[in-house]
């Protein structure tokens, strides 16, 4: 197959592109390197079936050109940060809403039959009902969550109007190798790990009793491929199906690294969701998804990757 991976130099996208290439597919990595890193894909660019197109999903003409002859599009490109979206909602809308619309339009123009796109659990907001299931009313708390919900609606409309099979995967808290810890908007696990490895205390925004449903990036990659190959359409939660507090997470990472520091607590950040837990039955029933990597095993692999200098 010939697959396009937007955001293919990013954390999830590069892991996905690597797996697709390993499975023998032709892969076009499409990324403007604003968040993705060339180092994530350098080893892939020597592969005879992998090509790299440097560009943004906001560039419709370039996107249409890249998608010609594709069998499917994995749409991972996004401004994927709640705090960044709060600071700059216009940029978030341009990349996440217009960019997703461009991807769907490119699929229509090029006759691409299926688009599997990244969405987010942030769409659920702070609804007190747990676990979160796909039939719940959305309650977005940030421009990021609003932009992802808009993308889902565009996906359904394109499926209904133009016959493109669209799948939107609501990722919960993804972690693993290649997750960038250097941005001020970085996710909690790489931040915790790099601070501990630097002999510094982890920083927790809030009291640390907020919970997250973590899932290893390898399981997310597998979910994307299963969704593309399985013929499903619609919206699906992709998560580990259990939750852990940030205080407990910090203690596990201290044990794994062997570096113990009491966390530093700072005020909660605007737009952050308090608790997170997914119901993942729909994805299991539709395309056979279930997480295989335990949280501790994934954390050990991630710590090893960071200790090895990100290689």
Instruction: Give pLDDT tens digits for 237-261.
Output: 999 999 999 999 999 999 999 999 9
Residues 63-103 pLDDT 10s: 999 999 999 999 999 999 999 999 999 999 999 999 999 99
Judged against a pLDDT cut of 90, whether residue 208 lies above it is answered with yes
pTM: 0.95
Give the pLDDT score at 287: 98
At the top level of CATH, which class does the domain 2-175+215-239+279-292 belong to? Answer: alpha beta
pLDDT bracket for residue 309 (50, 70, 90) = confident
Whether 209 shows a pLDDT value over 90: the answer reads: yes
What pLDDT was estimated at residue 194?
A: 95
**In the chain, where are the structural domains located?**
2-175+215-239+279-292
pLDDT, mean over the chain: 96
pLDDT score of 286 more than 80: yes
Backbone angles phi, psi at 168, to 5 degrees: -115, 120
Over residues 263-292, mean pLDDT: 94
Q: Which of 157-161, 166-170, 182-186, 216-220 has the lowest mean pLDDT?
A: 182-186
pLDDT in the model for residue 185: 62
Q: What is the pLDDT of residue 311?
A: 67
- What is the rounded average pLDDT of the residues 98-114? 98
Q: According to the model, what pLDDT value does residue 184 have?
A: 63
Higher pLDDT, 186 or 71: 71
pLDDT, average across residues 184-190 = 82
**What is the per-residue pLDDT across 263-272, written as a single tens digit (0 to 9) for each?**
999 999 888 8
Q: Which pLDDT belongs to residue 91?
A: 98
């Amino acid at each position: 197959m010939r697959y396009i991976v937007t955001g293919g130099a990013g954390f999830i996208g590069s892991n996905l592109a690597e797996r697709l290439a390993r499975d023998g597919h032709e892969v076009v990595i499409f990324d403007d390197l604003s968040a993705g890193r060339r180092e994530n894909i350098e080893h892939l660019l020597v592969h005879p079936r992998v090509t790299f197109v440097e560009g943004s999903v906001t560039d419709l003409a370039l996107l249409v050109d890249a998608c010609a002859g594709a069998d499917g599009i994995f749409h991972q490109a996004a401004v994927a940060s709640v705090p960044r979206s709060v600071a700059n909602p216009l940029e978030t809308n341009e990349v996440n809403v217009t960019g997703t619309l461009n991807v769907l339009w490119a699929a229509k123009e090029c006759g691409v039959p299926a688009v599997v796109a990244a969405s987010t659990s942030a769409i659920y907001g702070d609804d007190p009902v747990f676990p979160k299931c796909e039939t719940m009313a959305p309650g977005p708390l940030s421009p990021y969550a609003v932009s992802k919900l808009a993308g889902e609606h565009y996906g359904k409309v394109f499926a209904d109007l133009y016959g493109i099979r669209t799948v939107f995967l609501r990722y919960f808290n993804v972690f693993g190798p290649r997750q960038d810890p250097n941005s001020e908007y970085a996710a909690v696990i790489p931040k915790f790990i790099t601070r501990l490895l630097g002999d510094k205390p982890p920083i927790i925004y809030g009291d640390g009793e907020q919970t997250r449903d973590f899932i290893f990036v390898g399981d997310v990659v597998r979910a994307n491929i299963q969704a593309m190959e399985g013929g499903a359409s619609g919206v699906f939660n992709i998560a580990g199906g259990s939750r852990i507090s940030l205080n407990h997470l910090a203690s596990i990472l201290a044990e794994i690294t062997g570096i113990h520091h009491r966390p530093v607590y700072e005020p909660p950040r605007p737009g952050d969701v308090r608790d997170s837990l997914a119901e993942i039955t729909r994805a299991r029933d539709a395309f056979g998804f279930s997480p295989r990597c335990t949280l501790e095993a994934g954390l050990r692999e991630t710590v090893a990757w960071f200790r090895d200098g990100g290689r």
